[in-house]
Structure 1
Amino acid sequence: MLVRSRVLSALRQSRPKRGGFGSPKDHEPAWIERWSANRREGQDNMDWFFRLFNSTRIYEIFLKSSPRFYGFIVWTSIIGGYSWSRMWDHIWDYCNQGMLYRHNPYVYPVPDDDE
């Protein structure tokens, strides 16, 4: 029994340790590793947009930290909502030109001279 346990422990120590399931040494399936290795730099249809967005440095300035991100979202929502509302007000005015009350001011008649 003692010999058997020594043999088994020697076999266990001679095998290379590869890590268990979910360990950092554990490899993904081959198709995931191939997919991760394919970066497609310069091949994307929207590459021009990402290059333009990265050149504005919006991410580094506003979106990288949480307080700046939330402030950016709140203020752009306020400004964007106001602009959206004003845009539709102008479109409504343009489509209803001459039919709205404010477009047709009341003209007071010339007062009669009672003298």
Structure 2
Amino acid sequence: MPMLSRSKLLRSALLRSKTRFGGFGSPKDHEPAWIERWSANRREGQDNLDWFFRLFNSTRIYETFLKSSPRFYGFIVWFSILGGYTWSRMWDHIWDYVNQGKLYRHNPYVYPIPDDDE
């Protein structure tokens, strides 16, 4: 074995081989060619919902609120609180509109005029 490690052939093979810092599943590993072609096809302007994606991207909501985890969770919590409150108030207003004049608060008690016994 020591003789093999000293041979010119082995040393030249070791010098020519470069250290690989990547491998299967690493970010430096390339995908198969068909996946590379499929990923390169962005379908820009061909999608039925392209107008929606352009509109959503123009709002910059993703970059502002959804890109980092703490901002995402904060956005979800606050949006849920405000959305739940708004949803509840909307249905309260609809209920009031449909039942106008039938609810207790719409018909306040009017005290009768006191009789003068004089």
Q: Which residue among 98, 110, 113 is the counterpart of 2:113?
A: 110
Q: Which residue among 93, 96, 99 is the counterpart of 1:93?
A: 96
Aligned length: 114
Letter in 2 for 1:74: V
Q: 1:31 and 1:111 mapped to 2: Cα distance? A: 92
Q: 1:67 and 1:27 mapped to 2: Cα distance? A: 32
Give CA deviations for 1:40-89 in whole Å, capped at 9, x if unaligned: 01111111111111111111111111111111110000000000001111
> 1:36-75 counterparts in 2 under 5 A?
36-75=39-78
Question: Shift in Å at residue 31 of structure 1?
Answer: 4.8
Q: 2:29 and 2:70 mapped to 1: Cα distance? A: 37
Q: 1:63 and 1:21 mapped to 2: Cα distance? A: 30
TM-score by length of 1: 0.72
5+ residue gaps, structure 1, are 1-8, 10-19
TM-score by length of 2: 0.70
Give CA deviations for 1:4-56 in whole Å, capped at 9, x if unaligned: xxxxx9xxxxxxxxxx8657787656654443232101111111111111111
Judged with a 3 Å threshold, the aligned counterparts in structure 2 of structure 1 residues 23 and 100 are, in CA distance, closer, same or farther, namely closer
**Displaced runs of 4 or more, over 3 A:** 20-34
5+ residue gaps, structure 2, are 1-9, 11-22
